[in-house]
Structure 1
Amino acid sequence: MNKTGTAVILCGGKSSRMGFDKSKIEIEGKYLIELIAKKLETIFDEVVLVAEKKDKFKKLKYTVLEDLKKEYGPAGGMYTGLKYANSKYVFFMACDMPIVNLEYIKYMMKIAEESDCDCVLPRNGKWIEPMYAFYSKDLIKDFEKGIDNNNLLLYDIIKSSRIHYIPEEVTRSYSKDLEMFVNLNYVKDLEILKKIY
């Protein structure tokens, strides 16, 4: 398959509930983000990490971008990723989401490339999954405005844009239990990794 576009793994966050930096979770001597990135690079031209400091992952082969807008949570990291990316659409996921569903990501990528939208977002019941989604560089100014106004809720930033929602039933056809949206928030959640790796 032809690889295209940029995938960004957001490696910020305070990790207060976990008690240590989630971006440095290790599995058999490798960071979880390395395992995530290795899967993503099978379908993307480039995979980059966004962190609060450029030298955070010096030993990794992946490009590490330093947050252009520090202390603004995912909004700041996504702004940085969109500013950097060469491709129009950028796939974002968080460093504490251990399950990479390549077929579903390719499905979203196809929608992004073939429809005239600003982002492709999965629905999950009443909610959306903004951290497993595609965003267009056309949203850079929206993110900048949200950050400048200290309005950091992702949905508030993008709600007036052209959003392509993926119905939950479609997502479940790729992932019956929606497991790719799982986050590792607490130490007990690390048990999930034993099932995956």
Structure 2
Amino acid sequence: METTAVILAGGKSSRMGENKALMELGGITVMEKIIRELEPIAGRIVIVADDKEAYRAFGKEVITDMYKGAGPLAGLHAGLTSSASTWNIAVACDTPFANRGLFQELLRQARQSESKAAREGGSSGPEAVIARTGDRVHPLLAVYRRSVLPGLERELRLGHYKMTVWLDGLRTEYADGEKLAAAAGLPQECLAFNMNRPEDYEKAKAWLEKMKGPL
């Protein structure tokens, strides 16, 4: 079954002062860059955002949260609810250097672990494979089985919005930063880099210039 990719764009960008996903790097918006990287590996791409009109021009389905004000968990819930795929890529709209090599490695690990569990019998495979760089985990740079949806909805109904608490209850594997960096062809510090503030945007532009080429 095809892979679905969920781009989470529901934040207010208050620290940046403008919509992070629509800022340009290398002549294209961050949103367009992420879409281009996902298109070769995801049969379907959905954008989860409060402002549908802001993203219609990208030609992808735009959906909104069912649980308003509940943060990233609500965005992931909306994306998984709309999906029919076993495995789903989750990526935040402000990670400009996330690329197809990184996404492919996350999917490869998920499917490899799933196959191993099936061969060995008596154990279930992972429900999530999440990028990890150093001692930091990145739940919005990950792949999730759609089967996590009932538990996720239960947490939201109870008003539990902390993603780290929800993740503690899943069968989770972590994708090693060094492997991800090799697959992506990027330094580890770029893999999950978030543009949250104007100084982050300037840093991203400086990194891009240093890389000597388009994104």
> What's the TM-score once normalised by structure 2's chain length?
0.82
Q: Give the one of 76, 84, 87 matched to 2:85.
A: 87
Distance 1:46 1:100 in 2: 18
Bigger share in helix: 2
Question: Match of 1:6?
Answer: 4
Q: Give the one of 133, 147, 168 matched to 1:159.
A: 168
Over residues 78-119 of structure 1, what are the superposed CA-to-partner deviations in whole Å (9 max), with x where a residue is unaligned?
A: 000011112111101111100123222112112222312100
Aligned sequence identity (%)? 28
Q: Give the one of 187, 191, 199 matched to 1:188.
A: 199
CA shift for structure 1 position 125: 2.5
Distance 1:133 1:165 in 2: 9
On the 8 A contact 2:102/2:181 being kept in 1, the answer is: no
On the 8 A contact 2:177/2:188 being kept in 1, the answer is: no
Q: Give the one of 64, 67, 70 matched to 2:68.
A: 70
Over residues 104-156 of structure 1, what are the superposed CA-to-partner deviations in whole Å (9 max), with x where a residue is unaligned?
A: 21121122223121000122223211111001111112221221222222121
Q: Which amino acid aligns with 2:50?
A: E
Distance 1:46 1:89 in 2: 12
Q: Unaligned regions of 5+ residues in structure 2, if any?
A: 115-124, 209-213
Q: Which amino acid aligns with 2:192?
A: F
Q: Cα 1:27–1:173, aligned 2, differ >3 Å: closer, same or farther? A: closer
Question: Match of 2:120?
Answer: none
**Number of positions where the alignment pairs a residue of Structure 1 with one of Structure 2:** 195
Provide the aligned C-alpha RMSD in A. Answer: 2.1
Q: Which amino acid aligns with 2:161?
A: L
On the 8 A contact 1:139/1:158 being kept in 2, the answer is: no
CA shift for structure 1 position 162: 1.0
1:101 is aligned to 2:73: no
Distance 1:190 1:178 in 2: 14
Q: Which amino acid aligns with 1:193?
A: K
> What's the TM-score once normalised by structure 1's chain length?
0.88
Over residues 24-62 of structure 1, what are the superposed CA-to-partner deviations in whole Å (9 max), with x where a residue is unaligned?
A: 223577432012101210111111111013333222211
Question: Match of 2:50?
Answer: 52
Q: Cα 1:39–1:169, aligned 2, differ >3 Å: closer, same or farther? A: closer
Question: Match of 2:23?
Answer: 25
Q: Cα 1:188–1:91, aligned 2, differ >3 Å: closer, same or farther? A: same
Question: Match of 2:140?
Answer: 131
| Structure with larger Rg | 2
On the 8 A contact 1:53/1:67 being kept in 2, the answer is: no
Q: Which amino acid aligns with 2:143?
A: F
SS at 1:58 equivalent? helix
Distance 2:201 2:136 in 1: 24
